[in-house]
Amino acid sequence: MKLPFVNFFGVLLLVLLLGGVACTYQVVKVVKPMIAPKEVVWKVGGVDYISATQLTKRLGAKVAETKGKTKSVTVTKGGATVQMTAEKDHLTYQSTHIFLQHPLKYQGSEVLVSENDVQNVLTPLLAPSLIPKKIAIPKTIVIDPGHGGKDPGATNNRLQLQEKNLVLAIALQLRTELSRRQYIVKMTREKDEFKELEDRPRVTGDVFISLHLNSSGTPNQSLGTEVHVLTRNQGSPGNAFNRWNTILGYLVVSRLVGVAQFRNRGLKMSNLAVLRNAMGPAILIELGFINHDIEAKKLADPAFQKKLVGGIANALDELKKVVIGCR
């Protein structure tokens, strides 16, 4: 008997709801209380963004505007600093460029950062304790020397150098150093043999490190070290350790350039098969350019390789401290 009454209010509610949807349909700024109370989410090109000011509230950080031609802010937490400039494809964290999934935007008076990058880049860097997924304390490290056998990788014919041989030599030194520091080390190859890309991450461990050398189109042109982690977009969800990949990747690239005094080319996102099925945080390191003769000579020198190995091992020790601190 009460049905018509319910229907009347039901219809009224529906009209109000639709009205509400229609009202907010065209505007860019929407309130999304699901993420945090009173947090404003900006839709830009179908992507969710939040402002740097909101980000700082979420992470308990401080924000300050940086003077300059373009809109730029500095976010600080503890001793760590992130520099964000509108429309750039990367942010700068402690002097390292961290490339983003979506470029930073500028709306109203705010620099905006995508929700995806807040979760997968900024939270891991500035507030790792807020990462919901905890990981095992790194103990077993998988080292993957790139290429091998029929696949030489990049080459420098002037110096008679092949990527597959150099990365294997560096990997063997890394094994020795990590064993000395009480890690258990597994290798995807220990000699000059060919292994399929997809099979390499099937070697189980807490951390996966693939070692490679870079090569530019023109010899003796590009220099420096870069680290790659999986991209995270609709086409590729990354892997199960996206946020930890960021921490590991940042630590490795920054510590490597510190010991090698190589150019810091930053932390980049790439859709790489070798990282897709990793069983723990996973990175691919491009240690330097084999077709730049000055850099290649250093990369082929066992004493210099030892420095590189020390940088990677230091980064792993630091990762271990972060993991323990977040437990």
Q: Which among 31-39, 111-119, 178-186, 211-219 is the span making contact with Zn ion, rule CB under 5 A?
A: 211-219
- Looking at the DSSP assignment, which residues form a beta bridge with residue 269? 229
Residue 164 burial by CB count (10 A; 0-12/13-18/19+): exposed, middle or buried? buried
212 vs 255 by CB, closer to Zn ion = 212
124, 138, 145, 146: residue in contact with Zn ion (rule CB under 5 A): 146
124 vs 146 by CB, closer to Zn ion = 146
Distances (CA, A) of 315 to 192, 194, 250: 27, 28, 9
Strands 110-114 and 105-107: antiparallel
146 vs 201 by CB, closer to Zn ion = 146
Residue 147 beta carbon to Zn ion: minimum distance, rounded to whole angstroms: 6
Residue type, 19: G
212 vs 292 by CB, closer to Zn ion = 212
CB 245 within 8 A of CB 77: no
Residue with tokens 């030892």: 306
Residue 226 beta carbon to Zn ion: minimum distance, rounded to whole angstroms: 12
153 vs 280 by CB, closer to Zn ion = 153
Residue 205 beta carbon to Zn ion: minimum distance, rounded to whole angstroms: 20
Length of the chain: 327
Report the C-alpha gap between 225 and 211 in whole angstroms.
11
Residue type, 59: L
Q: Is 65 tagged catalytic?
A: no
Residue 93 beta carbon to Zn ion: minimum distance, rounded to whole angstroms: 26
Residue 288 beta carbon to Zn ion: minimum distance, rounded to whole angstroms: 12
Report the C-alpha gap between 131 and 240 in whole angstroms.
13
Q: Which among 87-95, 140-148, 264-272, 304-312 is the span making contact with Zn ion, rule CB under 5 A?
A: 140-148
Q: Which among 9-17, 144-152, 184-192, 193-201 is the span making contact with Zn ion, rule CB under 5 A?
A: 144-152
> Does 288 engage in binding with Zn ion (CB under 5 A)?
no
103, 148, 153, 266: residue in contact with Zn ion (rule CB under 5 A): 153
200 vs 212 by CB, closer to Zn ion = 212
Q: Which among 56-64, 76-84, 139-147, 276-284 is the span making contact with Zn ion, rule CB under 5 A?
A: 139-147
Number of residues that bind Zn ion (CB under 5 A): 3
Question: Taking CB positions, which residue lies at the least distance from Zn ion?
Answer: 212
* CA atoms within 13 A of residue 289's CA, in its CB half-sphere: 19
8 vs 194 by CB, closer to Zn ion = 194
Cα angle 66, 70, 75; round to 5: 35
> Does 212 engage in binding with Zn ion (CB under 5 A)?
yes
Report the C-alpha gap between 137 and 318 in whole angstroms.
11
Q: Which among 30-38, 81-89, 99-107, 142-150 is the span making contact with Zn ion, rule CB under 5 A?
A: 142-150
Other CB atoms within a 10 A radius of the CB of residue 109 amount to 9
Catalytic residue among 226, 286, 295, 318: 286
> Does 189 engage in binding with Zn ion (CB under 5 A)?
no
Residue 318 beta carbon to Zn ion: minimum distance, rounded to whole angstroms: 25
What is the DSSP secondary structure assignment for residue 219, as one 8-state letter? Answer: T
Here the tokens at position 20 are 């509400």
Residue 197 beta carbon to Zn ion: minimum distance, rounded to whole angstroms: 10
Report the C-alpha gap between 198 and 247 in whole angstroms.
24
Other CB atoms within a 10 A radius of the CB of residue 219 amount to 16
- Binding residues (CB under 5 A) for Zn ion: these are 146, 153, 212
As annotated, the active-site residues are 286
